[in-house]
């Protein structure tokens, strides 16, 4: 293949040319603590929670996958709109999230059971080491847009997070972004 550019719009989060994946509430309902509130939102029109736009790169060792993620502002119950969250299938692969717009949180859990939450804001570049699962939330009132770079053969393991969730939840309490223990863990 030959070198090529994509163009990223920092405001809208579009990456062009790119392949777009859309996640609605019905796609991520099991990831939220308040599944009842998620069901109600699905009945009310099943709004979009986030989009991922991938650059066309071979999913092979040596290549770097890259994409933008756009998370819409919103909550289910008092929990902020979030991504599914995953370990990489190839656990030894790291990733970088570079925030372009908005306010977010990045929650990570290692295979050793450590849990960390980092702030995301325009200019923040978060390093996700090998062996750490990762999920993001939009804690602001506008779009959260970030750019991801990862080994193209990293893959996704969604099942572990879907089954066990994270040790912490990021919720709004009295109008403030608050990290609490997850009662289901
Ligand atoms: C891929 C990378 C991101 C996420 C995206 C959506 O390794 O971490 O591109 O795929 O932010 O999150 P998720 O958990 O639904 O894939
Ligand atoms: Zn990843």
Let me know if residue 108 belongs to a domain. yes
Residue 52 resides in a domain: yes
Q: Whose CA is nearest to atom 3 of ligand 1?
A: 148
Is the residue at 116 inside a domain?
A: yes
What CATH number is attached to the domain comprising 69?
A: 2.60.120.10
Query: What mean pLDDT is reported for the chain?
Result: 98
Residue 173 within any structural domain of the chain: yes
Ligand 1 centroid to residue 85 C-alpha, Å: 7
Domain assignment present for residue 1? The answer is no
Closest residue CA from atom 11 of ligand 1: 69
Per the structure, the complete domain to which residue 70 belongs is given by 7-181
Tell me which of 134, 159, 162 to substitute to probe ligand 1's pocket, judged by most ligand atoms within 8 Å of the beta carbon.
134
DSSP the chain: ------EE-TTT--EES-EEEEEEHHHHGGGSS-HHHHHHHHHTT--EEEEEEE-----STT-EEEEEEEE-S-EETTEEPB---BB-SSTT--EEEEEEES-EEEEEEETTS-EEEEEE-TT-EEEE-TTEEEEEEE-SSS-EEEEEEEETT---B-HHHHHH--SEEEEEETTEEEEEE-TT-
Give 80-117 pLDDT, tens digit per residue.
Answer: 999 999 999 999 999 999 999 999 999 999 999 999 99
Position in ligand 1 atom list of the atom nearest CA 23: 15
pLDDT digits (tens, 9 = 90+) for 19-60: 999 999 999 999 999 999 999 999 999 999 999 999 999 999
**Residues with CB in 5 Å of ion ligand 2:** 95
154 within some domain? yes
Nearest-CA residue for atom 2 of ligand 1: 148
Number of domains in the chain: 1
- What ligand 1 atom has the least distance to the C-alpha of 154? 7
* Cβ(156) – ligand 1 distance below 6 Å: yes
ipTM of the complex: 0.98
With respect to residue 2, please indicate whether it lies within any of the assigned structural domains. no
């Amino acid at each position: 293949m030959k070198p090529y550019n994509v163009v990223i719009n920092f405001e809208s989060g579009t990456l062009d040319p790119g392949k777009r994946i859309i996640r609605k509430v019905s796609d991520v309902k099991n990831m939220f603590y308040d599944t009842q509130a998620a069901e109600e939102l699905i009945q009310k029109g099943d709004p979009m929670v986030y989009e991922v736009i991938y650059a066309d790169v071979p999913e092979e060792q040596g290549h770097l996958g890259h994409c933008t993620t756009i998370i819409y502002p919103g909550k289910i119950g008092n929990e902020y709109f979030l991504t599914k969250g995953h370990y990489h299938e190839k656990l030894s692969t790291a990733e970088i999230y570079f925030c372009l717009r908005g306010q977010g949180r990045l929650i990570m859990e290692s295979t050793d059971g450590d849990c960390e939450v980092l702030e995301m804001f325009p200019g923040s570049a978060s390093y996700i080491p090998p062996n750490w699962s990762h999920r993001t939330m939009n804690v602001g009132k506008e779009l959260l847009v970030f750019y991801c770079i990862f080994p193209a053969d990293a893959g996704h393991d969604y099942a572990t997070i879907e089954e066990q969730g994270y040790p912490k939840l990021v919720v709004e309490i009295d109008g403030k972004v608050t990290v609490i223990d997850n009662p289901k863990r």
